[in-house]
Each structure stands twice: as C-alpha cells, then as structure tokens.
Amino acid sequence: MNQPGLRERKKRKTRLALIDAALDLFAAQGYEATTVDQIAAAVDVSPRTFFRYFATKEDVALSSPVDGQEVMLRELAARPAEEPPFVALGHAMRAVVTALQEGDLTETARFLKTRELVESTPALFAGSIRRMMENERRLIAEIARRESTSPDDLLPHFAVSLFTAVARVGFESCHPRSPQDLPAFGERLEQILALAERSLRPGWDRPRSGADAARPGG
Amino acid sequence: MNQPGLRERKKRKTRLALIDAALDLFAAQGYEATTVDQIAAAVDVSPRTFFRYFATKEDVALSSPVDGQEVMLRELAARPAEEPPFVALGHAMRAVVTALQEGDLTETARFLKTRELVESTPALFAGSIRRMMENERRLIAEIARRESTSPDDLLPHFAVSLFTAVARVGFESCHPRSPQDLPAFGERLEQILALAERSLRPGWDRPRSGADAARPGG
DNA sequence: GTAATTTATGTCAGCCGCTGACAGATGACA
DNA sequence: TGTCATCTGTCAGCGGCTGACATAAATTAC
C-alpha cells in the first residue's frame, strides 16, 4: 500500500475543506463580500495558512476548472494522429463532459458551483478567462506537435482559437446548474460543433503548402 | 466657441497626465512594482484624487484600448446593411487600424505602450480580455440588429466569437511597438482574415431557416 | 523509543489597493 | 462680490497579501 503519509493526507484534507468552505461562503454571501479570514475561520485555520495553500483568493475559487483543463489536454494527447485538429479537440472536450457526468459527484458539484460563481462575478470571470488562455498555449503546442508544424504557424493558433470560441459560446448559451443538466449541456455543445463544422470548409484545419507561417514578435 | 470651462479643461489635463505618468512608470519599473502613490506623486496629486479619476489601478493602464473599442463599435454601426456580419466586422477593424495610423500621434503612442504592457503583465492581460468580452456583447447585439435576429441566436454569437478569435491571433502573432509597425500589423490582420475566409464556407454568417435559435439560461 | 531533522502552522507587523467622511480650496454663475 | 456647486486633500480604516520568527507536529535516524 503505497499510501501517502499522514502529513500528506492532512494537507489534502484541509485543502479540500478550504475549497468547499470557500465555495459555500461565496454562494451564500458573494465572492467579494467573503473575506479570507472567514474562509480560514470556517476551517479552523489561521488566515496565514490559507495563503500557504492558495496564492490568492481567486485561486481557491477557480481550483476546480483547472483540473478539467488538465483532463482536456490529456485526452487531446491521446487522440489518434489521423484526426484533424478540430475533430480531435471536439473529442477531447466530449471526454471532459463525460468525465464530468460519470466522475466523482462531489467533484462535479464543485465544478458546477464554480461555473455559477464565475458567471455572476466579473472579477472571477476575468481570472477564468486568463487561465483558459494560458491553457490555450498548451493546446496550440499540442496541435502543432500533432500536425508537425511550428507553434508559430498561424493554423494551430486559428484552430485552437476557433475551438475556444465554440466552447465559450457553449457556456454562454447553456448554464448547467446540477448534474442533471449535463446531458443537455452536452447536446448544446454538439449543436454548436455542428454549426461550426457546417460553416467551415472540409480540410480547413490541415496545413497546406506552408504558406501561413509566421515568426513570433514580427 | 463652445469651449469647455476651465474646470473641465483642468480635469481633462490631470486625467491625461495621470495616464501618461502611469504608463511611463509601468514601462520603467513594471506594473505591479508601481504604486498608486507613485503615480499620484508624479502628477502632484493626492492618492485619493487618483481614485476619483480611475476606479482601479488597472483602469489607468487600460484606458486607451477602451477608446479603440468604441471606435470599432461606431464603425460597425456605420457599415452598410448588405454586408454580411463577418465582412462588416472586418471592415470595422480595418477602420480602427487606420484611425490608429492617421490619428493623433500621442494617442497612438499611448495605445502601443499599453499593448506592450498588457503583453508582459498577466494581470493586465486578463483585464484586457475581460473588457474585450464585455464589448463582445455589444458587438453581438449590433450584429443581431443588422441581421434582424435575436441576440440569443447562436449565429451572431458564433460570428463575433470567431471574429475576436481572429483579432486575438493577430495580436498574438504580431506585436507592433511603434507607429511604423502599424502597416505590417495591418497586413498581418489581412492575412488572418484571408485565412479565415478561406476556411469558411461562403454565406456561413448569414442566418438560415431559423434552426439554430437558442434560449438564454437553457 | 527517543533524539534529531524536516515541515506545517500560528502570530505579528506591515505594505498596498481601495473607500467613506469631513473640511478646505477653487472654478461657475448671478 | 458673494453664493453655490464641485474638486481636492487629509485622515482613518478594511481587506488582500507577504516576510520573519517561533512553535508544534510528523518523519527519519539511531
């Protein structure tokens, strides 16, 4: 049993406790109105300790979607190389949604709570977008790797950028609140992916003739 | 001569002085390392007064691009109704770039300084994106109006979202530093717009059969 | 099982962004 | 010139966040 030591388990526990306490307080009285002191007090921990687990108050609120992005990237890397970029991205996203539907209930609940919070809190919305964009860079790199082109090629940028656009429209036009809403959300995503596919020329996301190369900082 | 009074002129002057002092300090020592007190001191104004001109430190840094978004929206509203959404958006953006090239030099300089700052400061980058997205809503509304569909229709969302994707790729792949770089930047934008057009089916951004309607909050 | 070492936590002091309240200065207007 | 509206400075204070130091707890070595 390669079980982590007591210390590790304890840390894991307080971390989750802090997240859940924070999410509950945020939902009850709003993100801005909740102080870090309150969160720390709810878990019986000193405020200073809170900042040893999370760099910022924003971090504790957005810790959950980060995991989703990790899943997404892993799934993308696992897609067969023959799939065109946009198709592979679509499948990776589907995998995230199914993981959400079939995964741990408490974790799914955290994810949904966070989504609601992000929607209703501009500051968190900005932070969420920022993380999404940092993740974009990794997606671009992965697509470039798959297609054996440079990450500075315009095509991976465009493909990923267009994909995030689709994902964003999905979240803007459908707001899942409970696990039961997830199937409908999945369907909505399919609808938008279909719209995108219908709007695009077949083969658009495959490199051609190397004409669109771009150097960074140009 | 409907000239504004002395009071108004003074306010305008301190406002610009604060922006320029802030931009210079940010460039010299970084955004985070610069305190509001320093900015206020540089303009010989109390820190409290600073916050009467700008709600946050972020605001003083991002005041310039906001104007660009206003121009963009105005230009879009002025485009002829026959133009399909994506074409109209493209022309509106071109208008912004030319306005930047032909407009007031000091203002263009502010814009470019801000761009550089935003690129190198994650916090500002997030804020910049957030403003961009708030603006997206207005663009969507305008497109919906032009096309006589509901703002809840998926199509305006998709069109605008895809357009912002293009704009973002433009800024990511070309970093204009001085007014002389603007022509090259314009060309880069054309290149990406061409790539987008080449990737999309003709007529994709025009509503068809009313099949893609979506209700909000579904 | 105890001692030595590492690591997590609490306490304290303090900076910085930001705000409300009040008082004094300054431009607007009759 | 005097009244009024508005802008500005001062002060006190909250909340996010950090460094430094001491203490407590878990891990490791003996």
The per-residue pLDDT for range B70-117, each reduced to its tens digit, is 999 999 999 999 999 999 999 999 999 999 999 899 999 999 999 999
Q: Helix or strand or coil: residue A218?
A: coil
Across residues A95-118, what is the average pLDDT? 93
Instruction: For A176-214, give the DSSP string.
Output: --SGGGHHHHHHHHHHHHHHHHHHB-TTTTS--TTTT--
CA geometry: angle at B197 spanning B191 and B202, to 5°? 165
Q: Which residues of A touch B214 (CB under 8 A)?
A: 173-174, 188, 191
Across residues B52-76, what is the average pLDDT? 93
> Which of A59, A118, A189, A199 to mutate to test binding with chain B, by most B CBs within 10 Å of its CB?
A199
Check whether B35 has a pLDDT greater than 60. yes
Across residues A139-152, what is the average pLDDT? 93
Give the helix, strand, coil percentages of chain A, each rounded to 5. 75, 0, 25
Across residues B47-63, what is the average pLDDT? 97
Q: Do domains A7-56 and A62-199 have the same CATH topology?
A: no
* pLDDT at residue A218, rounded to an integer: 34
Q: How confident is the model at residue A66 (pLDDT cuts 50, 70, 90)?
A: confident
Q: Which CATH number fits domain A62-199: 1.10.3720.10, 3.30.390.50, 1.10.357.10, 2.102.10.10?
A: 1.10.357.10
Across residues B190-201, what is the average pLDDT? 93
Lowest-confidence range among A170-184, B14-28, B37-51?
A170-184
State percent of chain B over pLDDT 90: 76
The domain ranges of chain A are 7-56, 62-199
The residue written with tokens 């229709």 in the block is: B153
Strand partners, B200: A200
Given an 8 Å threshold on Cβ–Cβ distance, is B199 in contact with A212? no
**Torsion of Cα atoms, A115 then B117 then B137 then A123, to 10°:** 30
Task: Work out the minimum CA distance from B156 to partner chain A, whole angstroms.
Answer: 10
R_g of chain A, CA atoms, integer Å: 20
Nearest to B189 by CA among A154, A169, A13: A154
Highest-confidence range of A130-134, A214-218, B140-144, by mean pLDDT? B140-144
Per-residue burial over A198-214, b if 16 or more Cβ lie within 10 Å, else e, is ebbeeebbebeeeebeb
Q: How confident is the model at residue B151 (pLDDT cuts 50, 70, 90)?
A: confident
Q: How confident is the model at residue A152 (pLDDT cuts 50, 70, 90)?
A: confident
How many Cβ atoms are within 10 Å of B70's Cβ, its own excluded?
13
- In which element (H, E) is residue A103 found? none
* pLDDT at residue B16, rounded to an integer: 97
The verdict on domain A7-56 having CATH code 1.10.10.60 is yes
* pLDDT at residue A172, rounded to an integer: 86
CA atoms of B91 and B87, how far apart (whole Å): 6
Give one word for B208, left, alpha or beta, with left for phi > 0 and alpha for psi -120 to 50. Answer: beta
Mean pLDDT of chain B: 91
**Which of B125, B127, B201 minimises the CB distance to A201?**
B201
Q: How confident is the model at residue A214 (pLDDT cuts 50, 70, 90)?
A: very low
Tokens of B128: 């910049």
* pLDDT at residue A217, rounded to an integer: 39
Q: How confident is the model at residue A209 (pLDDT cuts 50, 70, 90)?
A: low
Residues of A with CB under 8 A from a CB of B: 122, 125-127, 129-130, 133, 152, 154-155, 157-158, 161-162, 164-166, 168-169, 172-175, 184, 188, 191-192, 195-196, 198-201, 204-205, 212, 214, 216-218
Output the CATH code of domain B57-199: 1.10.357.10
Q: At A4, phi and psi to the nearest 5?
A: -65, 150
Across residues A93-113, what is the average pLDDT? 93
Q: How confident is the model at residue A215 (pLDDT cuts 50, 70, 90)?
A: very low
pLDDT in tens, B176-185: 999 999 999 9
The three state secondary structure string of chain B is CCCCCHHHHHHHHHHHHHHHHHHHHHHHHCCCCCCHHHHHHHCCCCHHHHHHHCCCHHHHHHHHHHHHHHHHHHHHHHCCCCCCHHHHHHHHHHHHHHHHHHCCHHHHHHHHHHHHHHHHCHHHHHHHHHHHHHHHHHHHHHHHHHHCCCCCCHHHHHHHHHHHHHHHHHHHHCCCCCHHHHHHHHHHHHHHHHHHHHHECCCCCCCCCCCCCCCCCC
CA atoms of A161 and B165, how far apart (whole Å): 5
CATH topology for the B1-54 domain = Arc Repressor Mutant, subunit A (1.10.10)
- For nucleotide C20, give the residue with the nearest CA to its C1': B48
